[in-house]
Structure 1
């Protein structure tokens, strides 16, 4: 494997000084060889030129650090420009290591006051030991690019220890030479099986009580993503959300939550015993898309519930819509409310200025990310980031250990370590490529005349048009209306004829997800397929709008109380195939989720109103591509589990509507 190119930007208002230092660092770097990487200094003037280098596709993609000259001779203007440059570079590329070259300690005090969080270290002009500077810069890059857990796992596997512990396949030996399952060994590979180890290996640390290489890897991840603490989760963001809920909420506590949240959040409500205040999402009925909660709704909910402990939002949504989070977080914090942001689909944003700010940068207390969705971790590998100043680490650890496996998959942990390294060291380059490919695909798909990538204004429901909502450009939502293709049919054509699997579809859209794994070849094949399908266009279909989901009604009891009752199961449709009137006024025991889009239309404890029953009946009768999660089947018909009257009577009632 070739050594990665590692550029260091040398910034100074003094052209002679920056050229001299760049030349000296280049010479010193060659003397350091052999080395895993060689530093390549790039001289630059401060201000706009330095920023252009940091963001350019050529130099910026390999940039790992910046050396900024504060100026000589007490030049106040040069010093101010140097600090301003440091601040601008940190704002654009926070993953870059930044060192300042100072004339004296007085300059250091000034820099620390203005940009202390951004600076990783200092050098002094009168100690121009360029060989020493080079060693320190190289050590900084080595530390930032380290993968403590992955390296330890690889070393242990290379030692070829005999396994007298779990797992039972013994490093893959049970598969070898088997006439029945030997092909599985060949399929997944020797190294993956040898790395499937047990907590019996002390050198690999413990996910439940990390003090060694896992702790080191988590510290590097916290630094990379801008968190005070980061925790690796091997059972997804779904479990991560539940861990946070159980840490922050006790039975009866009030929380405000976006109804558009992932179903794991609603499961967390049940497990925690909290009292939810459900906030209706905005809806784009034309395309069957759910958007963010309107800012006015959030403001009103915070004002109406001073007792609320937590607010949880999803940003960005499945379709790429993301909140203007900073004013929302500030508003919640002013009311004493902790903010959790489910950033499952936006874990890559930290590493490209076109995608920032992240939820952590906007002040969120807790952020969950599916590192596997948009970065290079394996499926199920996620991270929990914590910035809460009141964080109770002991309580969090107890809840984390309640949910995590005592036999975690070490390959998942290694993939988180490696994914973090890649995001820090080359995330800017890879995301820049993804954004370029997204822009090219948008233009080419629109040029087919049959398909059209929707713009932000078209995706936004009317209720949030003025709320500062932004769009993640790596998520493309394609309107099929003019093509004559049905969404289900087109999706099947793409997979069966062209070997292309898309992320999801509604009744008249397809969603494409571009990641750091998207290549130009893949983009070319996708466009070729779309162009061929466009030539087979038909008479444009008259799409019916999605049935409008009813607004949330009210809670009769806590969701946890309703869920754990036995209940009874009533048909959704009556004997004549109409909405069953026997459900009206009853209290639901389960979470009923039409998928897509995956937003609960009923939650445990919710009073069932006629509009809800009519909505479910219409979905069953007309929307064949919609799955209805949470219904049970008995005697050949779909049923809803509801509380019996006697069960409801003995449960504590809620005094006001939620």
Structure 2
């Protein structure tokens, strides 16, 4: 299927524009046109902006430098900047009379312009070839193409993996169905690093490096690295690159558990920042700006600040002032953008973390774009970036046998985001609004708005909501979250993203369709019509505030410690744990926020909280507790171990 690539010509010179459109249209007929170039003209800047907002197939804009608009100085350059700010993936060319005009455009809009044509050299075939080459470069998938080429070469495999391109599975009476299920191409593309033409993820110099460079340009980074171990590993790689044992960092307590694991591995000294909490719905929001600014002022020796934006529930920071405050103190900023990797490709979601000035950004490309699970990207804009040190840390965590299909999916996901991301995201936004309206019309379910989700302490912080993440209040439906998820799954074949005691979360992506929206609405309407009486829903007790650290998390984690029961013989919180230092990360899931981290002192409020969860919230998973015969145990430092820790002096 041939794509459609609209080329927009902006000029108020009607005769000249008509000649250009006719000449380029004729070239499209005579020459090879694999990208489906078609041409359309407008006479005013606002008409151009309106068209690129309506039409996601606009891939290239040609702006006449002679464009004149009343009251506007240098309208061509201004339009170039506005297009770049609105849809940075669009290629933009300026049509000039001479090099003096080029110098002026370069001065005003060089970052927005991809190339130039001379207005009086009407070489339409030449222009057409250049525009085709521009689209070829943008839409290239160097790694994926090379992988397909290798598979088609049908080489005999005398190397790993052991299934030998699927030959070990084919025809087997026991496992042959797996070959059919996965598919011939997938198995043939599962190759060894012994294939030089496919480059090396650990030392890329060929097609992987080319693919990463294209991704960096697409996402607005100086450098981009593909990761096949997910954003969990990506966060750890950055921590080990920036932090040495004892270095201080500021981090949101609500960060993904991989961030807390990174603290352990790096040996860093964390300053934990408590998240805001929406107690009504059990949702954890961003850290208040006031808290972040106070932490930056109080810890000018911190090396790193890490935040999650947007959160699992779609809440995103006003990042720019936060990043500027951190940079004033020389603090590097890492943003975990795992749930927001698509944001660059539609103005409704911008600015991105990179656009706001972040030094490092991690993205779970697989979560919200069209990559396979575990496929992620690390974007770097740090002016002091040490590429060698980063590579050493990256290779420490990366597999020496990376899955080539994952790398190919990153290449393809980037291409799709650049070439049709705007159009698909625009559709997703419309479907999100449609689904929001339909769910609200049921009378039993209600999609929460930003004002519902924001905890009181962050209402003035400029926080925005990602509209593709719908949090649905189920309190009037008569269902518990578990009952509702089970009914949707078993009766209507629908799987939702997550739940709290009073909400479910729906995630809309590029793959959301109107048919899926219709089926979900029909299911929720049918459930609403059961008219169950509203029921009092149990809620999780509030997570206690962070107590204090008695040691570096790494030091506590690597001690042997001892395991003490969470509850005493009478089923009450074990008082012997109060004042002891935890060795493990204790995380109730949901919501997934650590109640205890290694090195943290246990107080009575924390102990009471954990005990209450164990007794009343049976559906909550408790990560980090040991279990022995149905009894839960907490690993803590032995009495003599704390005094012997090498970093103990930092906490006296």
TM bin (shorter chain): over 0.9
CA contact under 8 A between 1:286 and 1:546: conserved in structure 2? no
User: 1:10 maps to which residue?
Assistant: 9
- Confirm whether residue 51 of structure 1 aligns to residue 45 of structure 2: no
CA contact under 8 A between 1:30 and 1:38: conserved in structure 2? no
Shift of 1:75: 9.4
User: 1:389 maps to which residue?
Assistant: 383
User: 1:577 maps to which residue?
Assistant: 571
- Confirm whether residue 248 of structure 1 aligns to residue 247 of structure 2: no
Equivalent runs, 1:21-170 vs 2, <5 Å: 21-33=20-32, 35-56=33-54, 60-71=55-66, 80-170=74-164
SS of the aligned residue for 2:56 comes to helix
**Aligned equivalents of 1:265, 1:124: Cα separation in 2:** 52
Shift of 1:649: 1.3
**Aligned equivalents of 1:184, 1:580: Cα separation in 2:** 50
**Aligned equivalents of 1:146, 1:328: Cα separation in 2:** 36
**Aligned equivalents of 1:263, 1:75: Cα separation in 2:** 54
User: 1:493 maps to which residue?
Assistant: 487
Deviations 1:440-495 (A, max 9, x none): 00001000000000000100011100000000000000000111111111001100
Aligned counterpart in structure 1 of residue 359 of structure 2, from 365, 371, 381: 365
**Any stretches of 5+ residues in structure 2 without a counterpart?**
none
Deviations 1:310-352 (A, max 9, x none): 0000000000000001111111111100000000000000011
Shift of 1:656: 6.6
Shift of 1:18: 2.1
CA contact under 8 A between 2:44 and 2:69: conserved in structure 1? no
Deviations 1:49-97 (A, max 9, x none): 11100010xxx2111111111107x999776111111111111100011
**Aligned equivalents of 2:558, 2:16: Cα separation in 1:** 72
Aligned counterpart in structure 1 of residue 635 of structure 2, from 629, 635, 641: 641
**Aligned equivalents of 2:72, 2:448: Cα separation in 1:** 46
**Aligned equivalents of 2:23, 2:189: Cα separation in 1:** 44
Shift of 1:47: 1.9
**Aligned equivalents of 1:635, 1:545: Cα separation in 2:** 28
**Aligned equivalents of 2:69, 2:356: Cα separation in 1:** 35
Shift of 1:635: 3.5
**Aligned equivalents of 1:164, 1:138: Cα separation in 2:** 41
- Confirm whether residue 207 of structure 1 aligns to residue 190 of structure 2: no
Shift of 1:113: 1.2
**Aligned equivalents of 2:459, 2:15: Cα separation in 1:** 52
CA contact under 8 A between 2:146 and 2:207: conserved in structure 1? yes
**Aligned equivalents of 2:228, 2:501: Cα separation in 1:** 34
User: 1:511 maps to which residue?
Assistant: 505
**Aligned equivalents of 2:367, 2:171: Cα separation in 1:** 36
Shift of 1:624: 1.7
CA contact under 8 A between 2:583 and 2:635: conserved in structure 1? yes
SS of the aligned residue for 1:481 comes to coil
Alignment root-mean-square deviation, CA:
1.3
Q: 530-539 vs 336-345, which deviates more?
A: 530-539
Q: TM-score, normalised by structure 2?
A: 0.98
Task: Describe the shift of the 1:46–1:174 C-alpha distance in structure 2 as closer, same or farther (beyond 3 A).
Answer: same
Shift of 1:542: 1.9
CA contact under 8 A between 1:568 and 1:641: conserved in structure 2? yes
Runs of 4 or more off by more than 4 Å in structure 1?
Answer: 74-79, 653-658
Shift of 1:623: 1.1
Task: Describe the shift of the 1:97–1:312 C-alpha distance in structure 2 as closer, same or farther (beyond 3 A).
Answer: same
SS of the aligned residue for 1:99 comes to strand
CA contact under 8 A between 2:551 and 2:651: conserved in structure 1? no
Q: 538-547 vs 234-243, which deviates more?
A: 538-547
